[in-house]
Amino acid sequence: MLTKNELKYIQSLYHKKHRDEEQLFVAEGPKLAEELINSEFVIKHIYALDTWIQKNPAIKVPLTEISEIELGRITNLQTPNEVVVIAEQAKTFGEPELPGHLTIMLDGIQDPGNMGTIIRIADWFGINQIICSNDCVEMYNPKVVQSTMGSILRVKCWYKDFESLEFKNSTPVFGALLNGKNIYAVGKVKEGVLVIGNESKGIREPMLSKITHPVTIPKLGGAESLNAAVATGIIVGCLVNGGE
């Protein structure tokens, strides 16, 4: 049973301002709940239907049984899914380490579905560092969290002012541009930064002039562009696996 205050509190976490203040986020559904429970993230509260509680008898965090009607009031999903978890946002985890790693940089990704899908792609290909420009959609936006399918728990995301970022001369900076090297001919890369641009404007200054390795996905048909997450999947996959 939910009190009126609890209901209001949970609903407030669907607004960035309140998430920032409380340093919390919301994740929904049995899959994400299970991954959160088995992760190092701190769970503040679980709200779940009786059906979920019966399948998860050994829960050691604060837990409230709710009805389907109550779930319908606190969910952000079109099809509510058994359980809503309130968890603490990851604490600061140091600075990204560029040498020896592949790192994704997102220059103004706006769509929460794209952001979540890119985090999932990074996780699939074993990349665990993403640096986002300050105007990217927030990683704890509920639509981002859901579309990562749990990868948000494994990939570290930083938000940075791109104006003040400096790269060492030795760091290769890849970016998809119109006249770059064919990405299918680049071969495997063990270290570097891959910049993905905004959905409509592409890669903007100041990042644009920092690109040392322009790459291109060859276009053979009529489409003007590829979706940002699809382009990320293609380029990351080639950089990680290419040339085998």
- Residues of this chain that interact with its own copies (CB under 8 A) are 113, 117, 120-128, 147, 149-151, 154, 182, 184-185, 217-227, 229-234, 237-238, 240-242, 244
Cβ proximity to its own copies: between 166 and 224 the closer is: 224
Q: Give the nearest distance from C-beta 225 to its own copies in angstroms.
A: 7
- H helix count then E strand count, the chain: 8, 10
| Shortest distance in whole angstroms from residue 106 CB to its own copies | 15
- Our CB check for its own copies shows the closer of 116 and 175 to be 116
Nearer to its own copies, 133 or 232 (CB): 232
The count of other CB atoms within 10 Å of the CB of residue 206 is 12
Strands (E), 56-123: 63-65, 83-88, 102-107
Q: What span, in angstroms and rounded, lies between the C-alpha atoms of 62 and 69?
A: 20
Minimum CB distance to its own copies, residue 38 (Å)? 11
Q: Between residues 2 and 233, which has the closer beta carbon with respect to its own copies? A: 233
* Distance separating alpha carbons of residues 156 and 60, to the nearest angstrom: 26
Burial 152-162 (b: 16+ CB within 10 A, else e): bbebbbbeeeb
CB 235 to its own copies: min, Å: 10
CB of 238 to its own copies, least distance (A): 7
What is d(CA 120, CA 122) in angstroms, rounded to the nearest whole number?
5
Question: What is the enclosing helix (H) or strand (E) of 228?
Answer: helix 228-241
CB of 174 to its own copies, least distance (A): 16
Nearer to its own copies, 100 or 218 (CB): 218
Q: How wide is the angle at C-alpha 200 spanned by C-alphas 198 and 203, nearest 5°?
A: 40
Of 133 and 151, nearer to its own copies (C-beta) is 151
